[in-house]
């Protein structure tokens, strides 16, 4: 699996960032550049079925974790700092429980290891309702999607995946049929056979319900050296809503653990 990626910086400790569902590496460009200025070599990676990575196979976490392992091996990256948001956070957790000997520091953004019910049903309905082969403008796509998702910021995030094809017309960067069929897998539980002792930072948005107080005991059973940072005035897309606070929390954690 040849994952698409972008490297920012040529020196420093390697730091890998994995986006969430419906996302791709471009969502993290600004933060990646900021982090690289603090002495890190940053790799932004498109997970399979997203961005410019191959659209084949299943969208399950053992597969996504194996993709990450292959990426690290291919690029001869050792002792990386692994950061994942939402689906990307689940991938990082699955990687940690599958390859615990290669883990040093983990940062999990607004997701826990527990099983989640299927999210984004309405969004998927809206995306599938867009006549992708017929629309001529992004505005037309937004008009359809607005009937299913009222928040402009969410629609703008989703429609960043809309691109003009060389042969004309529009296409999706993500694999919409697979996302539609495999969305239940995106919420599956991460099961560990042993504790992951690596320092781990969980970052959550104050207004998000993806990590709640009663989840913390279960998180510590897998990640006993975990700590939680709550970012004020932020929801699930913490890094987009409060980028300065997000980077500050991340760098503080890395300064204390590296």
Residues labelled catalytic: 86, 236
| CA distances, 197 to each of 143, 200, 222 (Å) | 48, 8, 8
Nearest to 18 by CA among 105, 91, 110, 106: 91
Inter-residue contact 42 to 115 (CB < 8 Å): no
Tokens, residue 101: 């000997």
- 121-129 and 152-159 helices, crossing angle to 10°: 60
29 φ, ψ (degrees, to nearest 5): -60, -50
Tokens, residue 85: 């948001």
């Amino acid at each position: 699996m040849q994952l698409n990626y972008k490297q920012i910086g040529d020196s420093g400790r390697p730091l890998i960032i994995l986006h969430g569902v419906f996302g791709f590496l471009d969502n993290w460009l600004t933060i990646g550049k900021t982090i690289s200025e603090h002495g890190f070599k940053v790799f932004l990676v498109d997970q399979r079925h997203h961005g410019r990575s191959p659209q084949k196979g299943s969208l399950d976490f053992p597969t996504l974790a194996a993709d990450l392992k292959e990426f690290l091996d291919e690029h001869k990256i050792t002792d990386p700092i692994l950061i994942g948001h939402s689906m990307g956070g689940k991938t990082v957790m699955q990687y940690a429980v599958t390859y615990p000997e290669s883990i040093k520091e983990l940062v999990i953004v607004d997701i826990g290891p527990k099983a989640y019910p299927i999210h984004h049903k309405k969004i998927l309905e809206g995306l599938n309702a867009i006549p992708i082969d017929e629309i001529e403008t992004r505005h037309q796509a937004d008009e359809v999607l607005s009937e299913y998702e009222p928040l402009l910021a969410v629609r703008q995030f989703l429609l960043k995946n809309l691109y003009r094809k060389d042969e004309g017309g529009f296409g999706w960067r993500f694999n919409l049929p697979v996302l539609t069929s495999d969305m239940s897998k995106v919420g599956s539980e991460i099961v560990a056979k042993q504790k992951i002792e690596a320092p781990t930072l969980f970052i959550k948005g104050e207004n998000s319900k993806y990590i709640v107080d009663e989840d913390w005991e279960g998180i510590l059973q897998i990640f006993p050296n975990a700590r939680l940072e709550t970012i004020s005035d932020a929801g699930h897309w913490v890094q987009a809503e409060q980028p300065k606070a997000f980077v500050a929390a991340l760098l503080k954690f890395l300064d204390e653990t590296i």
